[in-house]
């Protein structure tokens, strides 16, 4: 896409006078680029966020827990114990132009904060996407994601935050 835009910009700088433009046939590359400009915009809807449910630190050191994107299963390390409750993997619905390939980027990490100032980090995001995700015939793609929650400073809390998910046509 960047190459196409660069070629269009280069051709606009060397266009002949307006009288000559009317007689010059449009190049196929320019026509394809114009068609791409009217593509259906992508829409990203988060159907559900990550929910780790109830966890507790086992001592005075930090701990972590992770959620598998495919099964929704919650796993804890030695520094944390699962107190029950239902863990939920995140679920995203992407809509756009049917049968188009898309690129989906998850952040490397996200800081979460509790109302009392404690912090935790979400990292190691994983999805159940195929290597080359593509919108279906109806222009829709659904996927689940999981990640790892790690405490910071051995503090607990009801952590909240936003996970920026970037989606663009490939």
For 66-114, write each residue's pLDDT tens digit.
999 999 999 999 899 999 999 999 999 999 999 999 999 999 999 999 9
DSSP assignment of the chain equals -HHHHHHHHHHHHT---HHHHHHSPPPHHHHHHHHHHTPPPPEEEEEE--B---EEESSSS--EEEE-TTT--EEE-TTEEE--S--B-EEEEEE-STT-BEEEE--SEEEEE-TTS-EEEEEEEEE---SS-B--TTSEEEEEEEEEEEEETT-----B-----EEEE-
Rounded to two decimals, the pTM is 0.74
Query: Is residue 6 pLDDT above 90, yes or no?
Result: no
Query: Is residue 168 pLDDT above 90, yes or no?
Result: yes
Average pLDDT on 144-154 reads 94
Average pLDDT on 32-49 reads 80
């Amino acid at each position: 896409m960047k190459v196409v835009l660069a070629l269009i910009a280069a051709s606009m700088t060397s266009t002949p006078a307006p009288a000559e433009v009317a007689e010059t046939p449009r190049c196929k590359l320019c026509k394809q680029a114009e068609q791409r400009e009217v593509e259906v915009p992508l829409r990203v809807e988060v159907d559900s966020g990550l929910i780790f449910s109830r966890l507790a630190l086992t001592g005075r050191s930090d701990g972590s827990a992770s959620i598998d994107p495919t099964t929704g299963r919650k796993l804890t390390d030695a520094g944390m114990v699962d107190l029950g409750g239902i863990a939920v993997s995140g679920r995203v619905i992407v809509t756009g132009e049917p049968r188009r390939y898309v690129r989906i980027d998850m952040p490397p990490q996200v800081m979460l904060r509790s109302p009392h100032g404690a912090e935790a980090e979400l990292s190691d995001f994983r999805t159940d996407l195929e290597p080359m995700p593509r919108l279906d015939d109806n222009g829709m793609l659904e996927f689940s994601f999981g990640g790892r929650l790690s405490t910071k400073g051995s503090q607990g809390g009801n952590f909240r935050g936003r996970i920026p998910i970037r989606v663009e046509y490939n």
